[in-house]
Amino acid sequence: MRTIEWRDDGTVITIDQTRLPNEEVMIELRSCREVASAIKDMKMRGAPLIGVAAAYGLALTAYHSEARDREKLLEELEESARLLRMTRPTAVNLFWAIDRVMKRAYWTAGGCEAVRKAVIEEAKRMADEDVEVNRRIGMHGSKLIDDGDRILTHCNAGSLATVDYGTALAVVRAAWEEGKRISVFADETRPKLQGARLTTYELMRDGIPVTLITDNMAGYLMSRGMIDKVVVGADRIVRDAVINKIGTYTVAVLAYTHGIPFYVAAPKSTFDLKRTSEEVTIEERDPREVTHIMSQRIAPEGVRVLNPAFDITPIDYVTAIICEEGVITRDQFKRLTERSGS
């Protein structure tokens, strides 16, 4: 099953990622407000998935709207778009998806019914495209993977972070499907443990060899020659950097020091080449995520806490970016950003 699905009775079905791997609980979302809460609470997470989820949130507004005229429906959609934009600030896919659906709504000629239909159709199309794009990322990325490679990944950039197949894990999946005998090391990814809970879960389900390590073990493994390549996803690729789950920068610096290729796999909807890293809001999340592990307090009450959810990896640490169009080396990326101006 896909991570997110539209039902023709006006519901969106997804798996509650906060309960994995212990419980596989499907949730039904019936309004844009419910979609926004599910994104905020990270029941749905991962840049491409929250983009498609936002599109479906707008589709739910369109489906359930009692508006009789076009202007009223567009107003309701604008209100939903505002709500969705406030859920998480860093992954650009969220804003890209909202803008795309809203553009489709405004550009659709005709009355209320035509707009309603167009919005739902656009959201479904975006979900289908996501799967197609990820397959192409996998196809291009697998060329960089050799038989026997031991690949380190951080966070979860797999099926669960997308509609299906993943981005970083698309590269792993494609290489595996081609018969390359690869294995994966998954960083646990404190504080939310996406690596420990989600990456291991989905790779084990697919029968791809995976070993879980804590975040502070990556350097040791690299120094012992146990990692051949690093492949991660991204929440936003800006002119000078890749922004991804907190801890990615540390892994990139370690990889650079040890001469290990560091690849970023992400769709074009993650590119935000009008901006530099200075202009991006790094999400700060609830201190409880740091003071607690799965509801269990591990730090003294009242301790001061920092909880940035993402970090910034300067492009100089990135060997190449893999997108649906192919592999872009660091130098090619720099030329691309120079050409596209500021």
Instruction: Tell me which of 234, 237, 312, 323 binds ligand MRU, using CB under 6 A.
Output: 234
Sign of the torsion angle spanned by Cα atoms 74, 34, 160, 154:
positive
Catalytic residue (one of 130, 164, 187, 235) = 235
Say whether residue 47 binds ligand MRU (CB under 6 A): yes
If the CB atoms of residues 60 and 309 are measured against ligand MRU, the closer one turns out to be 309
Strand ranges inside the chain, DSSP E: 4-7, 11-15, 26-29, 150-153, 183-187, 210-213, 229-232, 236-237, 241-245, 262-265, 292-293, 296-297, 310-314, 320-323, 326-329
Say whether residue 91 binds ligand MRU (CB under 6 A): yes
Q: Other C-beta atoms within 10 Å of 147: how many?
A: 10
Say whether residue 233 binds ligand MRU (CB under 6 A): yes
- Which residues touch 22 (CB under 8 Å, ≥6 apart)? none
Say whether residue 140 binds ligand MRU (CB under 6 A): no
**End-to-end Cα separation, the chain, in angstroms:** 41
C-beta of residue 91 within 8 angstroms of C-beta of residue 236: yes
Say whether residue 291 binds ligand MRU (CB under 6 A): no
Say whether residue 46 binds ligand MRU (CB under 6 A): yes
Q: Which stretch binds ligand MRU (CB under 6 A): 19-27, 41-49, 76-84, 107-115?
A: 41-49
Among all residues, whose Cβ is closest to ligand MRU?
A: 233
Say whether residue 45 binds ligand MRU (CB under 6 A): yes
Is there a catalytic annotation at residue 235?
yes
Instruction: Tell me which of 161, 227, 230, 260 binds ligand MRU, using CB under 6 A.
Output: 161
Residue type, 277: S
H or E element that contains 22: none
CA distance 342 to 324: 24
Provide the minimum distance between the beta carbon of 72 and ligand MRU in the complex, in angstroms, as a whole number.
33
Provide the minimum distance between the beta carbon of 214 and ligand MRU in the complex, in angstroms, as a whole number.
18
Task: Give the closest residue to 157 by CA, choosing from 198, 111, 116.
Answer: 198
Task: Please give the DSSP secondary-structure letter assigned to residue 2.
Answer: -
Binding-site size for ligand MRU (CB under 6 A) equals 17
Instruction: Tell me which of 155, 171, 242, 320 binds ligand MRU, using CB under 6 A.
Output: 155
263 SS3 class: strand
Say whether residue 184 binds ligand MRU (CB under 6 A): no
Instruction: Tell me which of 255, 309, 318, 322 binds ligand MRU, using CB under 6 A.
Output: 309
C-beta of residue 256 within 8 angstroms of C-beta of residue 245: no
If the CB atoms of residues 162 and 337 are measured against ligand MRU, the closer one turns out to be 162
Beta 262-265 vs 320-323: how paired, if at all?
Answer: parallel
Say whether residue 197 binds ligand MRU (CB under 6 A): no
Residue type, 215: D
Say whether residue 194 binds ligand MRU (CB under 6 A): yes
Q: Which stretch binds ligand MRU (CB under 6 A): 23-31, 177-185, 228-236, 327-335?
A: 228-236
Say whether residue 239 binds ligand MRU (CB under 6 A): no
CA dihedral 111, 125, 127, 37 (to 10 degrees): -10
Say whether residue 171 binds ligand MRU (CB under 6 A): no
Provide the minimum distance between the beta carbon of 307 and ligand MRU in the complex, in angstroms, as a whole number.
11
Name the residues that contact ligand MRU, by CB under 6 A.
Answer: 45-48, 91, 155, 157, 161-162, 167, 194, 233-235, 244-245, 309
Q: Enumerate the active-site residues.
A: 235
